[in-house]
Amino acid sequence: MTDRRVAVIGLGNMGAAMAATLARAGFAVTGYDPAPDAGDRARAAGIALAASPAAAFAAADIAVLSLPMAAHVEAVLAGEGGLLAAADLTGRLVIDTTTSEPAVTRRLAAALAAAGHALVDAPVSGGPAGAAAGTLTMMVGGAAADIDRARPVLEALSAKISLCGAVGAGHVVKLVNNLLCAAHLLTVSEAVRMGVAAGVDAETLVGALNAGSGRAGVSEVNFPRWILSGSFDSGFTMGLMRKDVRLAEALAAETGQAMPLLEVAGRLWRESAADLADGEDFNRIAALD
């Protein structure tokens, strides 16, 4: 069977979990991450490790990227030792799950296509737990033929695949999604605080909200699982959400849209850095105490 050799580049919380899930699904997985401890985790899960991105691309037909930001994606694909520098390689399919910048994605996709490769952007929602269970939601952009080729990998990783349009569209949708999540954390937290101050128990209030029209993913999942429980261990950090909000603000500026609520949400997320370090769980911004 073709396209069963997969490289996962970026073995953090998400990448390592996706690599393990793909290995369980029967793919031959090679991993790469410059951080030694990330490599150790992958090795413990039975993932073969490559010494460089170039070696990872050489060992695979399909490469899944799970990296912090667009600059890292560009370095892996277009930088020294990246895929575009490997003149002897052709026909690779890159699935970029990074929450990245649509304009960068489109530019890299064009460069890859000129070199005989293809790119599908497939950012994800569901966190490390979803990656480990293969139940992510994936927001996919790309040419139909490339998505068809990527589908076995996407289906191994996800419970829901949303086809968003041409390459780059997946990253647009992910930024919109995370902007809403960031804003909802603020608005639901304010609403719950008001209800508690007026004498209603927080868990009772959230349960009632989730039966009504005011519910949101944040009230249905984040509040019960990580906020009201006090666990704050979602695996997604304040720093990552601040980055995603910045990218959404930049996208709004590119489109020329007036977004006053985005401006407020962005300011509150920036100001939260005074009290919440980048490494803290992103749900901390909605803590009730």
- The pair of structure tokens assigned to 56 is 């990872």
CATH dotted code for 172-286 = 1.10.1040.10
Summarize pLDDT for 58-92 with one digit per residue, the tens. 999 999 999 999 999 999 999 998 999 998 999 99
Residue 9 has pLDDT above 60, yes or no: yes
Q: Give the mean pLDDT of the chain.
A: 95
Where along the chain do its domains lie?
Answer: 5-165, 172-286
What's residue 3's pLDDT? 84
- The CA distance from 121 to 170, in Å, is 6
Rounded to 5 degrees, φ, ψ at 7 are: -100, 135
Asked if domains 5-165 and 172-286 share a fold, the reply is no
Give yes or no: 160 in active site. no
- Please tell me which residue in 72, 174, 242, 284 is annotated as part of the active site: 174
What's residue 257's pLDDT? 87
Summarize pLDDT for 113-161 with one digit per residue, the tens. 999 999 999 999 998 999 999 999 999 999 999 999 999 999 999 999 9
- The pair of structure tokens assigned to 163 is 């086809």
CATH class of the structural domain 5-165: alpha beta
Residue 1 has pLDDT above 60, yes or no: no
Residue 213 binned pLDDT confidence (cut-offs 50, 70, 90): very high
Residue 288 has pLDDT above 80, yes or no: yes
Rg, the chain, Cα only: 20
Residue 33 has pLDDT above 80, yes or no: yes
Nearest to 65 by CA among 47, 80, 83, 81: 83
Summarize pLDDT for 240-252 with one digit per residue, the tens. 999 999 999 999 9
Helix (H) or strand (E) holding 31: strand 28-32
What's residue 70's pLDDT? 95
Interval 209-237 mean pLDDT? 96
Residue 167 binned pLDDT confidence (cut-offs 50, 70, 90): very high
What's residue 39's pLDDT? 81
Helix (H) or strand (E) holding 19: helix 13-24
- The CA distance from 135 to 34, in Å, is 27
Beta bridge partners of 161: 138
What's residue 40's pLDDT? 83
Q: Residue 153 in contact with residue 62, Cβ under 8 Å? A: yes
- The pair of structure tokens assigned to 109 is 């996709």
